[in-house]
Amino acid sequence: MKAIVCEQVDQLQLIEQDAPVLLPGTALVRMRRIGICGTDLHAYKGNQPFFVYPRVLGHELAGIVEQVDGQQNGIRIQPGDQVSVIPYIHCGECIACRYGKTNCCTDMKVMGVHIDGGMRELIVVPLTHLLVTNELTLDQTAVLEPLSIGAHAVRRAEVRAGETVLVIGSGPIGLGVMAFAKHRGARVIAMDIQDERLAFCKRWAKVDETVNALENAKEQLAQLTNDEFPTVVFDATGNARSMQDAFGFVAHGGKLVYVGLVKADLAFNDPEFHKREMTLLGSRNATMEDFAAVQQAVSSGSIDVESYITHRVPFAEMVDAFEGWLKPESKVIKAMVEL
């Protein structure tokens, strides 16, 4: 079968691999859609802290089940089912897993990062990590994963109706945070350095206000909030400077949530942090609860997947297209690989 491997930094290659072997409690899934994520782009450029080369990328996945080996814990999945893959393979035994926080398992193996992902024709996945999506399209199924990361961050921050939320970064993850913060009834401000992306936030996520981070951002936020500032700030940039600057945007008693990940150390001013009794949170991956919530939102039509996906390419042409998606002029929001 064909697979695309990130051999080393700045090098993707289309290769032939042996088909995977079906194991007890797993399903053989034929890939039909693979979403391209910031994680893939960062791994390609050598900026992913948990990445080891060579690696098959891909963790935003939609496919069709071809074979099933047994059933497990009442999970009924049949050949022909359309499925989304939950790519976070957790141990089920560590302290995080025992407390239901499978998204930050101490022995986490994320497909496409720690172990090979789905950028190939066939994969074998534990039945526990498949979600049947027969009521959705393949495109909708593939984007459940990135949208679930945003939904998880909003749930973790306990966003309430009526409070003012700032989301920094308007990539696919940031857009998901905006959409689900709006879903909870929050007033949402989007911040980015590109006016065109901010306009997309208005159209797609229906944010209430936008702020260009290059144009006196703190002053703009002060004006929009009567000098009180947002009670929850999400940073989804994966940019160290942005993540440190975000401390200055949080209201007294507020929360700062890091959804993005950067391969660097971060520092902040402790007196400012302390006097505001600020809460600093990390938000990693998502859980089955988040996937189910996003599946329901997409199924109901409240999430516009068609506009979220801006670029498409056949699997055989992905290697040639990938480099171009890194350029700002490509205007990629979400790229989708089709098989």
Going by C-alpha positions, the residue among 177, 172, 86 that lies closest to residue 132 is 86
Alpha-carbon Rg for the chain, nearest whole angstrom, is 20
For 254-291, how does the pLDDT look when each residue is reduced to its tens digit (9 = 90+)? 999 999 988 889 999 999 999 999 999 999 999 999 99
Q: Is the CATH number of domain 2-143+309-338 3.90.180.10?
A: yes
Distance CA 182, CA 165 (A): 9
233-265: buried (b, 16+ CB within 10 Å) or exposed (e) per residue? bbbbbbbeebbbbbbebbbeebbbbbbbbbeee
**Strand, coil or helix: 198:** helix
**Strand, coil or helix: 130:** strand
Confidence (pTM): 0.94
Where does CATH 3.90.180.10 sit in the chain?
2-143+309-338
Distance CA 216, CA 154 (A): 26
For residue 120, the Cα-to-chain-centroid distance in whole angstroms is 20
Distance CA 144, CA 138 (A): 10
Going by C-alpha positions, the residue among 113, 110, 102, 160 that lies closest to residue 288 is 102
CATH of 150-282, one of 3.30.70.1520, 3.10.450.750, 3.40.50.720, 1.10.10.10: 3.40.50.720
Going by C-alpha positions, the residue among 239, 234, 237 that lies closest to residue 263 is 239
Where does CATH 3.40.50.720 sit in the chain?
150-282
- The answer to whether the CB of 309 falls within 8 A of the CB of 336 is yes
Distance CA 31, CA 43 (A): 21
First to last CA, the chain: 12
- The answer to whether the CB of 337 falls within 8 A of the CB of 36 is yes
pLDDT tens for each residue of the chain, 339 residues long = 999 999 999 899 999 999 999 999 999 999 999 999 888 888 888 887 778 899 999 999 999 999 999 766 667 899 999 999 999 999 999 999 999 999 999 999 999 999 999 999 999 999 999 999 999 999 999 999 999 999 999 999 999 999 999 999 999 999 999 999 999 999 999 999 999 999 999 999 999 999 999 999 999 999 999 999 999 999 999 999 999 999 999 999 999 999 998 888 999 999 999 999 999 999 999 999 999 999 999 999 999 999 999 999 999 999 999 999 988 888 899 999 999
